[in-house]
């Protein structure tokens, strides 16, 4: 299934895969110890995220408070030049995000199946 960017006037919203690519770039930079690269990747992620959520403020996907706090901690550590702190905060973010995705997966499957006229919930 291919998802095209959504546009509103002259604003183009990032595709869902864009966030994943931004986070992969951030992860790779952190793993390799590239502070400048991590700072740039984080800024790109932030920019893409803000552009998407300004246009689509009523999106169905809500980022949990803990995940937002984790990302904030990554940003603060990068801004302070604290590579080890950014690496630790990013590891926490990944862990919390994975737990969140596992918690919402049955709900997403149910909503997807319901929209197709059937209800098939798997846990």
pLDDT at 17 over 60: yes
57: its two tokens:
């403020």
pTM listed for this prediction: 0.66
pLDDT band at 76 (very low <50, low <70, confident <90, very high): very high
How much of the chain exceeds pLDDT 70, in percent? 62
Question: What is d(CA 81, CA 94) in angstroms, rounded to the nearest whole number?
Answer: 20
Give the other-Cβ count within 10 Å of 90's Cβ. 24
Mean pLDDT of 104-113: 55
Question: What is d(CA 15, CA 6) in angstroms, rounded to the nearest whole number?
Answer: 8
48: its two tokens:
């893409």
pLDDT of residue 95: 92
pLDDT tens digits, residue range 35-59? 999 999 999 988 887 777 655 555 5
Contacts of residue 22, defined as CB under 8 A and 6 or more positions apart, other chains included, come to: 41, 44, 45, 48
Mean pLDDT of 108-120: 48
């Amino acid at each position: 299934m291919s998802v095209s960017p959504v546009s509103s006037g002259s604003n183009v919203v990032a595709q869902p895969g864009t966030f994943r690519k931004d986070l992969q770039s951030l992860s790779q930079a952190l793993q390799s110890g590239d502070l400048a690269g991590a700072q740039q990747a984080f800024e790109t992620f932030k920019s893409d995220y803000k552009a998407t959520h300004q246009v689509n403020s009523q999106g169905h996907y809500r980022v949990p408070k803990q995940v937002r706090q984790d990302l904030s901690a990554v940003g603060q550590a990068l801004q302070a030049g604290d590579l080890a702190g950014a690496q630790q905060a990013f590891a926490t973010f990944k862990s919390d995000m994975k737990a969140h995705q596992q918690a919402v997966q049955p709900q997403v499957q149910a909503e997807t199946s319901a929209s197709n006229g059937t209800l098939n919930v798997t846990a």
